[in-house]
Amino acid sequence: MNNVIVGISEMAVSNTADDVLTTYSLGSCLGITFYDTSLHVGGMIHCMLPLSQIDAQKALENPCMFVDTGTTKLLKEMFALGCRKSSLVVKIAGASAVLDSKGLFKIGERNYTIFRKILWKNSMLIHAEDVGGNISRTVRLEIATGRVTIKSGGVEKEL
């Protein structure tokens, strides 16, 4: 298997069966996976912040930093490979309050809310999620099968 690392504010799309997309250290960030069950194409993004309007220049330089622009970019790349909305399985993780125990910034919560709004506007649903709390997560997407696993605190589970 070929492990493709998706760093913070990065994304990857693959149709290679041997690829496993992996992102580490999801705290308040949102890890999003899309998988086309017909074409066996998967995509993953690790977004830090909810809305690109806070820094238009950064959004132009790195749209994957933001949930709104990053989700759009990821979907466009998947559609370019022939994916259709109706075939996409959506799974997400993260959106926790690891560094915000007093709930002052609520970045994780806001990331989650913005993503749900984007899906709603596009008539899409989340199929599975592991969000919130105050833990860090690692997410893996196997391109051959579409299997998504979450690892946190040394425990791994399928999403």
Asked whether the beta carbons of 41 and 87 are under 8 A apart, the reply is no
Question: What does pTM read for this prediction?
Answer: 0.94
In the predicted model, what is the mean pLDDT of the chain? 94
- According to CATH, the topology of domain 2-158 is 60s Ribosomal Protein L30; Chain: A; (3.30.1330)
Over 60: is that where the pLDDT of 103 sits?
no
Please calculate the CA angle 110-95-142 and round it to the nearest 5 degrees. Answer: 130
Each residue of 32-89: pLDDT tens digit?
A: 999 999 999 999 999 999 999 989 899 999 999 999 999 999 999 999 999 999 999 9
Q: Can you read off the two tokens belonging to residue 104? A: 């002052």
Over 90: is that where the pLDDT of 102 sits?
no
Please calculate the CA angle 153-108-142 and round it to the nearest 5 degrees. Answer: 55
Domain boundaries, the chain: 2-158
| pLDDT band per the 50, 70, 90 thresholds, residue 105 | confident
